[in-house]
Amino acid sequence: MTVPPLLSIENVSVDLPTARGNLRAVDQVSLTIGAGRTLGIVGESGCGKTMLSRAILQLLPKKAKLSGRVLFDGQDLVGLKPERLRKLRGRSVAVVFQDPMTSLNPVLTIGTQLVETLQEHLELDGLAAKRRSVELLAAVGIPAPEQRLTQYAHQLSGGMRQRVAIAIALSCEPKLLIADEPTTALDVTIQAQILDLLAREQRRRHMAMIIITHDLGVVAGRTDEVAVMYAGRVVERAPTPMLFKKMHMPYTQALLAAIPRIDGAPHTPLPAISGRPPDPTRPVQGCSFSPRCRYAAGLCYGQKPVLTAAESGEHQFACFHPIQTAAVIV
């Protein structure tokens, strides 16, 4: 008997009205993730990663137009009443944003924010909620958790603030955690600690997790599957080991090449992706990556490639001239 996915995104598109015309931020994206699995969504800034996560959470701008279906645990979130969505967010689906200074309330103590979350979703009394808050802060590696309850976000370091945000997200034992660029503003050492913390808690709680990042190195050893996005579309998706063994999309190859290598000589210039991402209000007629792709020719300039299965049906790519590259995990 086949177990249905916990989350199923079906042909989701997001359109935003702008002064320059309609902006398609997400274009016909379909993805699934099973319970206890980890999906990495990778791409440059502006490729639609965060807007896709907001579509899952139903937290789109007021004038945004959403089409397609977002099925979570058997129910379609699109069109769900606000009261039911409010109860679902935090309780069943939680999110960790890239900047905790904007997601944490600056005028409330850390303890107040944790306690209110627990009381709202789990209906704990004040004493039980405070005790649970201390346990959560300790679980995410914050020293002297009782003392931290009385502090405000500005009194903590960037790494500590992100750990608090993770504690709040995990407080109600969600089935799905969305981590949207959770380490962008942190130094390399703290980045590794936060990513390891998320991976540990994901395994311990057997929750599904989506990691959104621009860095292929982040998802290399921490995800079960990777979806690469460009100009609002998924251009390659595969189980993580399969993707790094043989990637087919030139854009995926370019992202990997841009990662600093630990064995590289000092001051070695990083390969840059030439050109600029396309203007989403002026869609390219052919493949969106064609103006920047060294392999582009013929069909690339006139038609948009669709996701096609490679050697395995699990590995799909959207390219008329796929490369045959064995990647090295950095």
CATH number at residue 232: 3.40.50.300
Give Cβ neighbours of residue 147 (< 8 Å, ≥ 6 apart): none
Strand order in the sheet with 225-230: 93-96, 176-180, 208-213, 38-42, 225-230, 233-239, 316-317, 308-309
Q: Are 62 and 50 spatial neighbours (Cβ–Cβ below 8 Å)?
A: no
Residue 318 lies in a domain: no
DSSP class per residue in 78-104: TT--HHHHHHHBTTTEEEE-S-HHHHS
Does residue 299 form part of some domain? no
Q: Distance from first CA to last CA of the chain, Å, rounded?
A: 38
Nearest to residue 91, comparing CAs of 51, 124, 135? 124
- What is the C-alpha separation between 115 and 117, in angstroms, rounded? 5
With residue 110 as reference, give the H or E element that holds it: helix 110-122
**Do 100 and 162 meet the contact criterion of CB atoms below 8 Å apart?**
yes
Are 49 and 229 spatial neighbours (Cβ–Cβ below 8 Å)? yes
Domain hosting residue 67, numbered range: 7-243
10 Å Cβ neighbour count for 51?
Answer: 23
Question: pLDDT value at position 330?
Answer: 44
pLDDT at 126: 87
Residue 310, in any domain of the structure: no
Structurally, the chain folds into a number of domains equal to 1
The partner residues of 39 in beta bridges, in order of sequence, read 210, 225
Helix (H, G, I), strand (E, B) or coil at 132: helix
Which of 222, 205, 234 is CA-nearest to residue 38?
222
- 222 domain-assigned: yes
State the CB neighbour count (10 A cutoff) for residue 125. 9
What is the reported pTM? 0.91
- Residue pair 255/41 in contact (Cβ under 8 Å)? The answer is no
In a domain, 123, yes or no: yes
DSSP 153: G
Q: In the block, which residue shows the tokens 């899952």?
A: 56
Cα–Cα distance measured from residue 315 to residue 239, given in angstroms and rounded to the nearest whole number: 7
**Is there a domain that residue 117 lies in?**
yes
Predicted confidence (pLDDT) per residue in 16-60, tens digit: 999 988 999 999 999 999 999 999 999 998 899 999 999 999 999
How far is it between the farthest Cα atoms of the chain? 68
DSSP-based three-state secondary structure for 272: coil
Residue 268 lies in a domain: no
How many CB atoms are located within 10 Å of the residue 224 CB? Answer: 17
Determine the Cα–Cα distance for residues 292 and 164; give it in Å rounded to an integer.
40
Judge whether 322 lies within some domain: no
Chain position carrying tokens 């020719």: 297
How far apart, in whole angstroms, are the C-alpha atoms of residue 167 and residue 139? Answer: 8
Across the 330 residues of the chain, what is the mean pLDDT of every consecutive 10-residue run? 88 94 94 96 92 94 94 91 89 88 90 93 90 93 93 92 92 93 81 89 92 90 94 95 92 86 75 84 90 91 90 88 63
